[in-house]
Amino acid sequence: MEFWLNEKHSEGYSVNWKFTETIHTEQTSYQHLAVINTMDFGKALVLDGLVQTTEKDEFIYHEMIVHPILMSHPNPQKVLVIGGGDGGSIREVVKYASVQQADLIEIDENVILACRKYLPEISCALTDKRVRLFIEDGLEFVKRKQDYYDIVIVDSSDPIGPAEGLYTQEFYTDIHQALKPEGILVAQTGSPLFNKELLAAANQRISKLFPITETYLTAIPTYTGGFWTFTLGSKKYDPAQAKPGKKLLKAMNLKYYNEDIHKACFALPNFVRELLK
């Protein structure tokens, strides 16, 4: 017998995943959660029927949401990750010796528990002594912080369900206030093909607050359409002009991100430039 997960993204586009085993499934207080073993991409975390991360290509997303930003800050010490309960972004953050505190805010504790148990390669850094876990709403958490973080990473799912409020002007304003005078925000902003309105709105809202706003690209095979965007807001440093440290990169032994990728990811296709006008 064959098992297939049908991941519907629009009325005319869906992705079919062949999987061999359902490892875990539950209905949490916020969403349906499953861990499955796919035929081509290894184990995958699935929330409300949508694949969030897989063993085979997760490194692309997690390296690209973290390193272009942390490499651009001269001394990132306090980092906040909102969402990202799988632990992949935290894993990349704590590779920096300068980081003294890495806070992870996840509204659904069951995501953390499931990933710790079934996806240890991704969640392995959650036990790092610099990591602090907070099980609460990121929207409310950032309201209580002023001039505190060097970096804020919004590692959210799509703007539905528990992640819906993580794309609003109010939320970005609260993050701006939570950042230090040299702080940088980065958020995943979806597919430039399937999430045009989301990307354009996020870029516009962030640019109202930060003097430096950039959108950059990567390619993630398991995400909608392949293309994926991140949008940053910086109070001082321009990541598009930053030069990653060669010694630091060599010590990290990354799978995807490097000096050339850093420079290239800020080169946008014309259709993306048009979206951001």
- The answer on 121 and 37 residing in a single domain is no
Q: What are phi and psi of 67, to 5 degrees?
A: -70, -35
CATH number of the domain bearing residue 32 = 2.30.140.10
Rounded Cα gap, residues 62 and 92, in angstroms? 7
Catalytic residue among 86, 103, 108, 155: 155
**Residue 137 annotated as catalytic:** no
DSSP 253: T
pLDDT of 249 > 70? The answer is: yes
| pLDDT score recorded for residue 248 | 93
CATH number of the domain bearing residue 242 = 3.40.50.150
- The answer on 215 and 130 residing in a single domain is yes
pLDDT tens for each residue of 138-177: 999 999 999 999 999 999 866 555 555 678 999 999 999 9
Length of the chain, in residues: 277
> CA angle 66-107-88, nearest 5°?
30
| pLDDT score recorded for residue 212 | 98
Select from 243, 239, 246 the least CA-distant residue to 266: 239
Rounded Cα gap, residues 141 and 41, in angstroms? 34
| pLDDT score recorded for residue 265 | 98
Place of tokens 């359409």: 225
Rounded Cα gap, residues 107 and 86, in angstroms? 12
Q: 16 lies in which domain range? A: 3-52
Place of tokens 């032994």: 253
- The answer on 124 and 29 residing in a single domain is no
**AA letter at 257:** Y
Place of tokens 């991941």: 7
**Percentage with pLDDT > 70 across the chain:** 96
* pLDDT band at 233; cut points 50, 70, 90: very high
Using the 3D structure, point to which of 37, 52, 67 is the last residue of a domain.
Answer: 52
- The answer on 192 and 63 residing in a single domain is yes
Q: Mean pLDDT, to the nearest integer, of 205-215? A: 98
| pLDDT score recorded for residue 156 | 85
H helix or E strand, kind and range, residue 65 = helix 58-70
Using the 3D structure, point to which of 52, 70, 85 is the last residue of a domain.
Answer: 52
Are the C-beta atoms of 33 and 50 separated by less than 8 Å? no
Contacts of 7 (CB under 8 A, 6+ apart): 14, 15, 16, 17, 49, 50, 51
pLDDT tens for each residue of 56-82: 999 999 999 999 999 999 999 999 999
pLDDT of 209 > 90? The answer is: yes
pLDDT tens for each residue of 186-199: 999 999 999 999 99
Classify strands 32-38 and 14-27 as parallel, antiparallel or unpaired: antiparallel
- The answer on 131 and 182 residing in a single domain is yes
Average pLDDT over all residues of the chain: 95
- The answer on 264 and 245 residing in a single domain is yes
pTM exceeds 0.85: yes
- The answer on 228 and 190 residing in a single domain is yes
* pLDDT band at 2; cut points 50, 70, 90: confident
- The answer on 44 and 70 residing in a single domain is no
| pLDDT score recorded for residue 221 | 95
Is the sign of the CA dihedral 162, 231, 51, 127 positive or negative? negative
pLDDT tens for each residue of 71-128: 999 999 999 999 999 999 999 999 999 999 999 999 999 999 999 999 999 999 999 9
pLDDT of 9 > 90? The answer is: no
- The answer on 71 and 31 residing in a single domain is no
- The answer on 64 and 178 residing in a single domain is yes
| Domain tally, the chain | 2
- The answer on 9 and 98 residing in a single domain is no
- The answer on 215 and 131 residing in a single domain is yes
